[in-house]
């Protein structure tokens, strides 16, 4: 059984329902767990009546990683063969989990994900995985207009949808809860790499993503948390590249401030608080 997990913050239930329904409709051997990561109570009656669906109410916002880590102490996790962590603003139109899980049979692979289809400026695009710049250390996603290849592609990190080997989760004890929002996926994949697990994308599988539906990417909350997590990532992983990355981050924050001072100021606030 694959355990599918969504960390939910209590926003748009319509979007969450679509995500849940798409997996329960298209996948067979799964259980679906929603971690309701806020102080409200979410009930199945608010969503879909299906015995495969469970809800874990955290009672407060523990951050993305902290919310996910609650799952590690549940019977659902103990009974699962692997764990799929997926954003709530995603959905599938065809089965993907069997193809993804086949890649986990390779002992060297610990994290696997599908190609992510999304709309950018009215154009259909595909996210082929995340990479880290070798000189400066900034992160980026390879975006293309066509899916490239059919064989699994080695990447530095994945976001949006990650099928994770259970053994890997046990060894690194879940996500680093210090990454409250953003960069938790980068940190997780890098920690997996350090103990010998690779991360790959499977081009024959696709998930659809409505960008930044969970937290608006240009909101004050998003800008602050994204920048704060970028600084944490820098301090934890970049070593001698810290100075170059910090210069890059300050430059990007300055550009953001020029374009939108009311939110851009929160980028500088995060930098000065975390350095």
Listed in sequence order, the residues at least 6 apart from 98 whose beta carbon sits closer than 8 Å to its beta carbon are none
Residue 216's pLDDT is 58
Residue 218's pLDDT is 74
CATH number, span 2-209: 3.90.550.10
User: If you count DSSP H runs as helices and E runs as strands, how many of each does the chain have, helices first?
Assistant: 9, 11
Which residue bears the tokens 């550009």? 255
Q: What is the pLDDT of residues 84-126, one digit of tens each?
A: 999 999 999 999 999 999 999 999 999 999 999 999 999 999 9
Residues of the chain with CATH 3.90.550.10: 2-209
Structural contact between residues 82 and 166, judged by C-beta atoms closer than 8 angstroms: yes
Q: What is the pLDDT of residues 7-56, one digit of tens each?
A: 998 778 999 999 999 999 999 999 999 999 987 888 888 888 899 999 99
């Amino acid at each position: 059984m694959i355990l599918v997990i969504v960390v939910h913050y209590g926003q748009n239930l319509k979007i969450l329902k679509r995500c849940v329904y798409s997996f329960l409709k298209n996948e067979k051997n799964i259980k679906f767990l929603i971690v309701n990561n806020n102080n409200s109570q979410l009930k199945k009656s608010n969503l879909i009546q299906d015995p495969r669906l469970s809800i874990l109410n955290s009672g407060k916002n523990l951050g993305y990683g902290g919310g996910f880590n609650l799952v590690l102490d549940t019977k659902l996790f103990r009974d699962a063969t692997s764990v799929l962590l997926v954003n709530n603003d995603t959905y599938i139109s065809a089965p993907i989990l069997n193809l993804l899980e086949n890649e986990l049979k390779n002992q060297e692979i610990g994290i696997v994900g599908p190609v992510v289809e999304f709309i950018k400026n009215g154009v259909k695009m595909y996210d082929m995985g995340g990479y880290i710049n070798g000189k400066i250390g900034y992160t980026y996603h390879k975006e293309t207009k066509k899916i490239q290849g059919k064989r699994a592609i080695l990447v530095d990190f994945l976001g949006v949808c990650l099928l994770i080997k259970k053994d890997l989760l046990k060894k690194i004890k879940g996500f680093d809860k210090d990454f409250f929002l953003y960069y938790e996926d980068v940190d997780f994949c890098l920690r997996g790499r350090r103990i010998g697990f690779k991360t790959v994308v499977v081009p024959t599988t696709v998930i659809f993503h409505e960008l930044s539906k969970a937290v608006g990417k240009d909101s004050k909350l998003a800008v602050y948390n994204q920048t704060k997590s970028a600084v944490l990532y820098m301090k934890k992983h970049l070593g001698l590249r810290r100075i170059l990355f910090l210069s890059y981050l300050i430059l990007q924050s300055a550009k953001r401030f020029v374009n939108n001072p009311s939110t851009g100021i929160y980028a500088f606030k995060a930098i000065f608080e975390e350095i």
